[in-house]
Amino acid sequence: MNGPEPTLQARGLECVRSDSLLFSDLNFSVRAGQVLQIEGPNGSGKTSLLRILAGLTPPNDGEVLWRGENIVRRRFAFLSEVAYLGHQLGLKAELSVEENLRLSLALSGLSFSPVRLSEALQTVGLMGREDTPARALSAGQRQRITLARLILSTATLWILDEPFTALDSSGVSLVEMLLEAHLNHGGLAVLTSHQTVRLYGGLIKLALA
Partner 1 sequence: MRQMASPFLALLKRDLLLAFRHRGELANPLLFFLIVVTLYPLGVSPEEALLRKIAPGVIWIAALLAALYSLENMFRSDFDDGSLEQMALSPYPLSLLVVAKVLAHWLVSGLPMLLLAPVLALFLSMPGPALAVLELTLLIGTPLLSLIGSIGVALTVGLRRGGILLTLLVLPLYIPVLIFATNAVSAAAAGMPVAGQLYFLAAMLVLALTLAPLATAAALRISLS
User: Which CB, 85 or 176, lies closer to partner 1?
Assistant: 85
Using the rule CB under 8 A, which residue among 103, 177, 181, 207 binds partner 1?
103
Q: Which amino acid is at 26?
A: L
Query: Which of the stretches 19-27, 69-77, 122-130, 201-209 binds partner 1 when contact is defined by CB under 8 A?
Result: 69-77
Q: Is 55 in the site for partner 1 (CB under 8 A)?
A: yes
Q: Binding to partner 1 (CB under 8 A): which residues in 13-52?
A: 51
Question: Cα–Cα–Cα angle for 30, 12, 8, nearest 5°?
Answer: 20
Closest CA to 3 of 24, 28, 32, 34: 32
> How far is Cα 64 from Cα 74, in angstroms, rounded to an integer?
11
Comparing CB distances to partner 1, the nearer of 103 and 181 is 103
Facing residues of 188 across strands?
157
Site for partner 1 contains 139 (CB under 8 A): no
Q: Determine if 58 is a binding residue for partner 1 (CB under 8 A).
A: yes
Question: Is residue 57 within the footprint of partner 1 (CB under 8 A)?
Answer: yes
Asked if 88 interacts with partner 1 (CB under 8 A), we say: yes
Distance between CA atoms of residues 202 and 32, nearest Å:
9
Confirm if 104 and 149 have CB atoms less than 8 A apart: yes
